[in-house]
Amino acid sequence: MRRPTLEAVAARAGVSRATVSRVVNGGTTVTAELRDAVMRAVEEMGYVPNLAARSLVTQRTDSIALVVSEPPTRVFSDDPMFSTVIRSASAELEAADKQVLLMLAGTPTSHARVERYLTGGHVDGVMLISMHGADPLPAAITRMRVPAVSYGRPAVNVNLPYVDDDNVGGAETAVRHLLERGRRRIATIAGPPDMIAGQDRLAGYRSVLHGSDRRSIVAIGDFTRESGAVAMRQLLEDDPALDAVFVANDLMAIGALQALRQAGRRVPDDVAVVGFDDIEAARYTEPPLTTVRQPFREQAAAMVRLLLRLLEGGEADPVVLPTELVVRESA
Amino acid sequence: MRRPTLEAVAARAGVSKSSVSRVVNGETSVTPAIRDQVLRAVRELGYVPNGAARSLATQSTDTVAVIVSDPPQGVVSDDPMFSTVVRTVSRVLEDAGKQVTLMLAGSKESRARIERFIAAGHAAGLLLVPMHGPDPLPGALARMGVPMVSFGRTAPGVAYADNDNVGGASLAAGHLLSRGRRRVATITGPLDMIPSQDRLAGYRETLRESGRRSNVAIGDFTRVSGAQGMRQLLEDDPALDAVFAANDLMAIGALHALREAGRRVPDDVAVVGFDDIEAAMYTAPPLTTVRSPMGDQAAAAARLLLGLLDGEPGEPVIMQNELVVREST
């Protein structure tokens, strides 16, 4: 297919080349009438402006890579964070007139591909959602000198501006709530130890219990519903007298509720349950879940603002957003 | 920040400019020793090859746009379909060496933006994920002549991978009737979406064949709409003894409303959903549902697009559903 030229479009529209160029490049100094004539000709002829040439001149691509790096085992979990964060961030970026390139980096092969792409000058900046501590990508990205921000504090010590929520503080609030309700044997289902959110929420749980002279009772999950159910069964075996559990995310809390139901324990009468995140599903559990609200959307928006500031050459300090306890019926 | 030049990299590595260029462009006609030297210099200097210049030279594009025709922010924010479908198609397309651009079409402005992007030739192919309607986008994009596949049937002439929505809904309604339920209601998806229409049609046909009356509430595939739909159905027909919800999220909302109304599931009211998302195993009681092969359907859509890009014909793919019986019926 031969592509029609700018000249051909100008001839068809009966205007000058400069006018076509201004219209195609989004200039506003053209009358509506001329603009319509040009756009009609563009459509009729299937004219394609050469953006590659344009970005050669401006040195900008107006594209942002949204890199999601997750261990291959979690790829098919349907955690709501993925869609909430990606949608919020995409909407914010599009509002800033940036194009979003989604890149999944779960395997070493895809890591290499992502690195090649990012060093290839195809994007102006990077937003990284890295989900596990052994991930080499945050360190690799800081070496590339591409403006980059991270969703969540990176698990390794790298110089990457990030947006996170107050995981320690949120967990502390949850556990204090259980203590205030008179619970004495408070267990926790922690997230994976190689994820910052998992570590921090466990630290918050431990610090409050430590201050109250109560014993920690810990089972480890991997943030999926199924792991929450398995961990809850294990906790009931380890300490049949437990009367509360703080679960490090809502998906695992949903699994824990099911295990408690199957074990014949009533919630909250026998065992009180608090989750973390406040995903929409938390309102629909039986009974509705008391949880710590994580501001997913605000975090995504803050991450976009942080990156846009970096692109303009500004400084970017980490942002940590507060969490909030949402009391429903499970505790 | 001033970007270091190709010349600077060549000087640092002690090789010719053309060697640097060959390494950076991934050519294999360079010895490993020189390649290592160049890459070390690239890293040390933070050299960024100019991708725009390169794509100007090749004029080829490996980019595939995944377009999610999204409702306005917040309506189905945590819909598991989004993450399953986006992840699956991205993986299949990336494995085939394509670069995925994600575009959300939630507003008039974003639709216009997408049309400009596609008209400008930035994507070699399009994979469309319609989440709601009525949607002018599939038709508009189809006219641009870029190879395109839809996840789920959409505008005429657009290749698609879908599941058997009519058959799946018939399975659900037939199951309720075979359990001896007499007053079987339904909560539909948005009726401007083809899957919603098809699921309603399957329900209606099955009830008509057995001489039962339809009782319909309209939802929009969200949990909250399922709860509202259920409350309305109970008001319209307090004696109903079964409900088929056109997706699992609405079934979860319906279970919630039934609990609040003091109806026991399945004793008083049996509930069937559609999709078999992971959450269906964790409801109280666990949900009987129609398993739609969401991941397989997404992979089939991506493979269909790869075929189109290779010049193959885009025959529609329709996948079968199966009933998964748990405790809600």
Asked if residues B70 and A86 have their Cβ atoms less than 8 Å apart, the reply is no
Give the residue from B133, B198, B125, B137 showing the smallest Cα distance to B168.
B198
Three-state DSSP state, A108: helix
Does residue A272 carry a pLDDT above 90?
A: yes
* Number of neighbours of residue B26 by Cβ within 10 angstroms: 9
Q: Please, which residues have CB within 8 angstroms of residue A145's CB and are 6 or more apart in sequence?
A: B1, B46, B48
**Alpha-carbon distance A163 to nearest alpha carbon in chain B (angstroms):** 20
**CB-based contact, A254 to chain B, within 8 Å:** yes
**Contact B77/A113, CB-based, under 8 Å?**
no
- The predicted model gives B85-101 an average pLDDT of 88
Give the residue from A169, A247, A234 showing the smallest Cα distance to A208.
A169
Distances (CA, A) of B191 to A97, A203, B165, B221, B233: 32, 49, 14, 10, 17
ipTM: 0.78
- The predicted model gives B291-320 an average pLDDT of 93
Query: How confident is the model at residue A164, as a pLDDT?
Result: 94
For residues A253 and A248, what is the distance between their CA atoms, to the nearest angstrom?
8
Lowest pLDDT segment from A55-69, A155-169, A226-240: A55-69
Nearest CB to A87: which of B54, B70, B87?
B70
Nearest CB to B119: which of A48, A88, A283?
A48
Does residue B309 carry a pLDDT above 90?
A: yes
**Contact B101/A99, CB-based, under 8 Å?**
yes
β-strands A319-321, A162-165 pairing: parallel
Nearest CB to B94: which of A51, A99, A104?
A104
pLDDT > 70 fraction of chain B, expressed in percent and rounded: 89
A49 versus A146: the higher-pLDDT residue is: A146
Phi/psi for A207 (5° steps) reads -65, -40
Query: Tens digits of per-residue pLDDT, B159-171?
Result: 999 999 999 999 9
Give the residue from B52, B69, B317, B188 showing the smallest Cα distance to A87.
B69
Lowest pLDDT segment from A9-18, B145-154, B193-202: A9-18
For residues B194 and B86, what is the distance between their CA atoms, to the nearest angstrom?
20
Give the residue from A119, A130, A126 showing the smallest Cα distance to A101.
A126
Report which listed range, A127-141, A218-232, B45-59, is most confident.
A218-232
Lowest pLDDT segment from A295-304, B20-29, B127-136: B20-29
Angle between helices A167-180 and A196-211 (to 10 degrees): 40
* DSSP state, residue B319: E
Set of chain A residues whose Cβ sits within 8 Å of the Cβ of B66: 102
Phi/psi for A139 (5° steps) reads -65, -40
Asked if residues B193 and B162 have their Cβ atoms less than 8 Å apart, the reply is no
β-strands B63-69, A99-104 pairing: unpaired
Set of chain A residues whose Cβ sits within 8 Å of the Cβ of B145: 46
Residue A323, class by beta-carbon neighbours within 10 Å (0-12 exposed, 13-18 middle, 19+ buried)?
buried
Q: How confident is the model at residue A72 (pLDDT cuts 50, 70, 90)?
A: low
Query: How confident is the model at residue B50, as a pLDDT?
Result: 58
Query: How confident is the model at residue B26, as a pLDDT?
Result: 59
Does residue A4 carry a pLDDT above 80?
A: no
* DSSP state, residue A245: E
Structure tokens at A224: 């999926």
| Max CA pair span of chain B | 86
For residues A130 and A136, what is the distance between their CA atoms, to the nearest angstrom?
10
Query: How confident is the model at residue A60, as a pLDDT?
Result: 67
Does residue B208 carry a pLDDT above 90?
A: yes
**Contact B48/A120, CB-based, under 8 Å?**
yes
Q: How confident is the model at residue A96 (pLDDT cuts 50, 70, 90)?
A: confident
B91 versus B57: the higher-pLDDT residue is: B91
Query: How confident is the model at residue B74, as a pLDDT?
Result: 46
Q: How confident is the model at residue A130 (pLDDT cuts 50, 70, 90)?
A: confident
**Contact B52/A52, CB-based, under 8 Å?**
yes
Nearest CB to B282: which of A66, A77, A225?
A225
Nearest CB to A91: which of B54, B73, B79?
B73
Q: Please, which residues have CB within 8 angstroms of residue B267's CB and are 6 or more apart in sequence?
A: none
Asked if residues A35 and A23 have their Cβ atoms less than 8 Å apart, the reply is yes
Asked if residues B47 and B8 have their Cβ atoms less than 8 Å apart, the reply is yes
Q: Which residue has the tokens 């990012």?
A: A118
Report which listed range, A85-89, B105-109, B132-136, B204-208, is most confident.
B204-208
For residues B24 and B45, what is the distance between their CA atoms, to the nearest angstrom?
14
Structure tokens at B34: 């020189």
For residues B35 and B198, what is the distance between their CA atoms, to the nearest angstrom?
57
**Distance of alpha carbon B289 from the chain centroid:** 19
Q: How confident is the model at residue A301 (pLDDT cuts 50, 70, 90)?
A: very high
Query: Tens digits of per-residue pLDDT, B30-57?
Result: 787 887 888 788 777 766 665 544 444 3
Set of chain B residues whose Cβ sits within 8 Å of the Cβ of A254: 279, 282
Phi/psi for B290 (5° steps) reads -100, 120
* Number of neighbours of residue A330 by Cβ within 10 angstroms: 25
Query: How confident is the model at residue B104, as a pLDDT?
Result: 82
Q: Which residue has the tokens 């493979």?
A: B303
* Number of neighbours of residue A136 by Cβ within 10 angstroms: 14
**Contact B101/A102, CB-based, under 8 Å?**
yes
pLDDT > 90 fraction of chain A, expressed in percent and rounded: 47
Query: How confident is the model at residue A116, as a pLDDT?
Result: 80
Structure tokens at B240: 């109903």
Structure tokens at A39: 């756009």
Q: Which residue has the tokens 């870029």?
A: B146
**Alpha-carbon distance B211 to nearest alpha carbon in chain A (angstroms):** 35
Predicted TM-score (pTM) of the model is 0.81
Query: Tens digits of per-residue pLDDT, A28-40?
Result: 677 888 888 887 8
For residues B192 and B300, what is the distance between their CA atoms, to the nearest angstrom?
24
Give the residue from B255, B259, B246, B316 showing the smallest Cα distance to B287.
B255
Strand partners, A219: A189
Query: How confident is the model at residue A314, as a pLDDT?
Result: 87
Ramachandran bin of B14, using left for φ above 0, alpha for ψ from -120 to 50, beta for the remaining angles:
left
For residues B159 and B148, what is the distance between their CA atoms, to the nearest angstrom?
7
Does residue B73 carry a pLDDT above 60?
A: no
Mutation site for A-interface testing, chosen from B42, B111, B282, B294 by largest number of A Cβ within 10 Å: B282
Query: How confident is the model at residue B36, as a pLDDT?
Result: 80
Q: How confident is the model at residue A1 (pLDDT cuts 50, 70, 90)?
A: very low
**Contact B80/A103, CB-based, under 8 Å?**
no
Q: How confident is the model at residue A25 (pLDDT cuts 50, 70, 90)?
A: low
Query: Tens digits of per-residue pLDDT, B150-199?
Result: 999 888 889 999 999 999 999 999 999 999 999 999 999 989 888 899 99
**Which alpha helices (H) appear in B72-193, and where do they start and end?**
80-95, 108-119, 137-142, 165-178
**Contact A110/B94, CB-based, under 8 Å?**
yes
Sign, CA dihedral A61-A66-A69-A72, equals negative
Set of chain A residues whose Cβ sits within 8 Å of the Cβ of B277: 78
Set of chain B residues whose Cβ sits within 8 Å of the Cβ of A280: 77-78, 223
Query: Tens digits of per-residue pLDDT, A180-210?
Result: 999 999 999 999 888 889 999 999 999 999 9
Average pLDDT, chain B: 87
Distances (CA, A) of A220 to A154, A188, A206, A216, A232: 21, 8, 14, 13, 10
Please identify among residues 35-64 of chain A the ones whose CB lies closer than 8 Å to any CB of chain B. 42-43, 46, 48-53, 55-56, 61
**CB-based contact, A2 to chain B, within 8 Å:** no
**CB-based contact, A101 to chain B, within 8 Å:** yes
- The predicted model gives A320-326 an average pLDDT of 97
- The predicted model gives B215-233 an average pLDDT of 95
Does residue B4 carry a pLDDT above 80?
A: no
Set of chain B residues whose Cβ sits within 8 Å of the Cβ of A88: 73
Q: How confident is the model at residue B1 (pLDDT cuts 50, 70, 90)?
A: very low
Set of chain B residues whose Cβ sits within 8 Å of the Cβ of A75: 87, 91
Does residue B22 carry a pLDDT above 80?
A: no
A225 versus B41: the higher-pLDDT residue is: A225
Structure tokens at B174: 């037939």
A140 versus A260: the higher-pLDDT residue is: A260
Query: How confident is the model at residue B229, as a pLDDT?
Result: 98
Please identify among residues 154-213 of chain A the ones whose CB lies closer than 8 Å to any CB of chain B. none
Lowest pLDDT segment from A116-120, A316-320, B47-51, B288-292: B47-51
For residues A308 and A305, what is the distance between their CA atoms, to the nearest angstrom?
5
**Contact B282/A258, CB-based, under 8 Å?**
yes
A26 versus B266: the higher-pLDDT residue is: B266
Query: Tens digits of per-residue pLDDT, B249-305?
Result: 999 999 999 999 999 999 999 999 999 999 999 999 999 999 999 999 999 999 999
Three-state DSSP state, B64: strand
pLDDT > 70 fraction of chain A, expressed in percent and rounded: 90
- The predicted model gives A101-125 an average pLDDT of 80
What residue type is A196 in one-letter code?
I
For residues B79 and B85, what is the distance between their CA atoms, to the nearest angstrom?
11
Does residue A14 carry a pLDDT above 70?
A: yes
Q: Which chain B residue is nearest to residue A80, measuring alpha carbons?
A: B78
